[in-house]
Amino acid sequence: MAARRIMNRLYYFTIEDESILSEAFSQLEKDAYAITYKVAGTEDVFVTTSETKDAMDRNDIPYNLLAEEDGSRIAVWHSPLSREELGDYEDAVRALALAYRAIAVACVGVNGESNLGFDLSNGSKPYTYFTAPAGHTFIWRLFRERDEAVDFLSKLTAGEKKAVEWAESIPLSSSKELKSYH
C-alpha cells in the first residue's frame, strides 16, 4: 500500500440514507481508507477526511457537503506507539476529534493496559478510541478547550516540557472557534 499523504481537510456532510455509506464503502478500491463519523449530538451530520471524500466523489456516492474544516487546526498528541501505528492515519484521528467537536486529542494509552495513569471516576465522556489497522486500540482524551489540555497533560505527564508546550500551542483556544456546519 502506498504511503498516505496528510491532506488536512475535513468535511461535514449529510447523506439521505446512512446505510448507503457502509454498502458503498465496501465497494471502494482496496487501498482507499474510507472512514466517516457521525457528529455527536446530531441525527444526520457526518465528518470525514479528504481521502474519503475523494473516494466518495470518484464512486458517485451522493452526499450534501455542509462545511469544510482545516484539519491542521485540530491538534494530535501521540504516544510513541500511536505515532508509529497511526502516523499515516492522522486525518482520521482528527476527524474523530471533530466528530466530538474537540480541538485536540491526546493518546493516553492502549486498551487493555492495567493503569492508564488517569482517573475515570468522573466518567469516560471526554475519552474515545481509535483502532489502528495494525491492531492496537488507542485511548484518546478529547479536549474542547486549550486550558483543559494544558491542565490535563501537565498532570498526566508530571509537567513534561514537550507535552505542556504542545498543549499551549494548540491552534484553537476553544471548540467555539470550529466552523459551523449549519
Q: Which of the pair, 120 or 164, is modelled with greater confidence?
A: 164
Average pLDDT (123-142) is 89
pLDDT at 67 over 90: yes
Q: What mean pLDDT, rounded, does the chain reach?
A: 89
pLDDT at 54 over 60: yes
Q: What's residue 23's pLDDT?
A: 87
**Cell reading at 74:** 485540530
User: How far is residue 4's CA from residue 94's CA, in Å, rounded to a whole number?
Assistant: 15
Task: Tell me the percentage of the chain whose pLDDT exceeds 70.
Answer: 91
pLDDT at 1 over 70: no
Average pLDDT (97-125) is 83
Q: What's residue 3's pLDDT?
A: 44
pLDDT at 87 over 70: yes
**Cell reading at 121:** 471516576
Q: Which residue has the cell 481508507?
A: 33
User: How far is residue 74's CA from residue 169's CA, in Å, rounded to a whole number?
Assistant: 11
In the DSSP assignment, the letter for residue 38 is E
Q: Which of the pair, 177 or 180, is modelled with greater confidence?
A: 177
Q: Which residue has the cell 481521502?
A: 51
User: How far is residue 54's CA from residue 49's CA, in Å, rounded to a whole number?
Assistant: 9
Pairing status of strand 75-77 against strand 104-110: parallel
pLDDT at 178 over 80: yes
